[in-house]
Amino acid sequence: MGEISWPTMFYDAYVFDMDGTIYLGDELLPGAKRMLEELRRRGCTVRFLSNNPTKNPAQYVEKLEKMGIPAPIEDIANTVVTTVRWLLENHPNATVFPIAEEPLVQALQEVGIRISDDPRQIDIVIASYDRTFDYRKLQIAFDAIWFEKRAFLIATNPDRFCPFPGGRGEPDCAAIVASIEACTGVKCQAVMGKPNPTMLTAALGSERPKNVLMVGDRLTTDISMAVATGIDSAMPLTGESTLEDVRAISERERPTYVLDRIDRLIPQEVWMQLGWDED
C-alpha cells in the first residue's frame, strides 16, 4: 500500500519493533498501551524485537514496565541476543573486540567469548551502536583489520540513527561501520539485526505461528525483513520512514499497511465497537 490503511483482521502473532514504534525515547506513543492490552485480551501472541544493542532483554523488560507494559523476558529479543548467538554458532573460539556498550560486552563475557583490545589477538571486530565510540577504538579496529590483517568486521545492526522525540536522533551502528570501512578499505561481512531473518526466529522461534504481522517504523529493517520472510507488515508513521518514502519504492517492497498511529492495528470496526477516539 502507498497510502494510510487499517488492517481488517487480527493476526495470530504480532512482532513489534520498539524504538519509534511503541515509544520514542522514554515517551510511550499514543494508543500503544491500549492496543497491546487489546491484542493480549484476544489471545494474540505479542513479541518485541529491537536492533538496539545498548540494552539487554532484562533492561527492555524494565523500560516497558515503567511505561505500564508488562512483558516477560522471553517475549523480548534484540541484537545483543542475536550477535552472541551468531558468534557461538559460527566462531565460538574467536577473540573479539566489541565496539559496544556494557550490555553487549557483559553478554559476551557471560557466555565465555574471549575479549581483547590487542590488535595482534583480535579475530573479529564487532561494531555496534556505541555512544562511547572514540578514536582509540577506531585505531584498534584499524590495526586489527588493516595492519595485522587478521580480523574481519561484523555489525550488530544496520541502522543509521536512532529516532528521538521531536524529530531528533542519535548516530547509530551504521556510522561506526562506515568509519571502519572508510579507513581499512574492507566491507562488513555480517550484520545481525533486522532485516536479517534470524531476528524473526529470535522473536518467535523456528516454528512460528501461521499468520504473523511485523510492525515497525523502518522500511530498510522492519519492513525489509517482513518482505524477505514472506509475512505481512505494518509501518506506523511515528519513527524514521515517511509516507513519501513508501511511495518512492516498488509495490513489492512496501508494507502491507501504513498507520498514522500504532493503535490503528486494531481493525476499524473493533475500534468503533470499543468506543476509542484519538485522545
Whether 194 has a binding-site annotation, put simply, is yes
Whether 143 has a binding-site annotation, put simply, is no
159 belongs to the catalytic site: no
DSSP label of 19: B
Which of 8, 36, 42, 35 minimizes the C-alpha distance to 276?
35
In DSSP terms, which residues pair with 183 in a beta bridge?
none
Rounded-to-integer distance, Cα 123 and Cα 136, Å = 18
Whether 90 has a binding-site annotation, put simply, is no
Whether 93 has a binding-site annotation, put simply, is no
- 114-115 β-sheet, strand order: 114-115, 95-99, 124-127, 152-155, 190-191
245 belongs to the catalytic site: no
Q: Roughly what angle, to the nearest 10 degrees, separates helices 79-90 and 102-110?
A: 40
Largest CA distance in the chain: 66
Identify the active-site residue in 12, 19, 143, 263.
Answer: 19
Whether 260 has a binding-site annotation, put simply, is no
Rounded-to-integer distance, Cα 37 and Cα 19, Å = 19
Whether 217 has a binding-site annotation, put simply, is yes
Per the CB < 8 A criterion, the answer to whether 70 and 37 are in contact is: no
Name the amino acid, one letter, at 236.
P
Whether 19 has a binding-site annotation, put simply, is yes
Identify the active-site residue in 17, 130, 143, 222.
Answer: 17
Q: Could you tell me which residues are annotated as the binding site for Mg(2+)?
A: 17, 19, 217
Q: Could you tell me which residues are annotated as the binding site?
A: 17, 19, 50-52, 194, 217
Q: Could you tell me which residues are annotated as the binding site for substrate?
A: 50-52, 194
- What positions carry a catalytic annotation? 17, 19
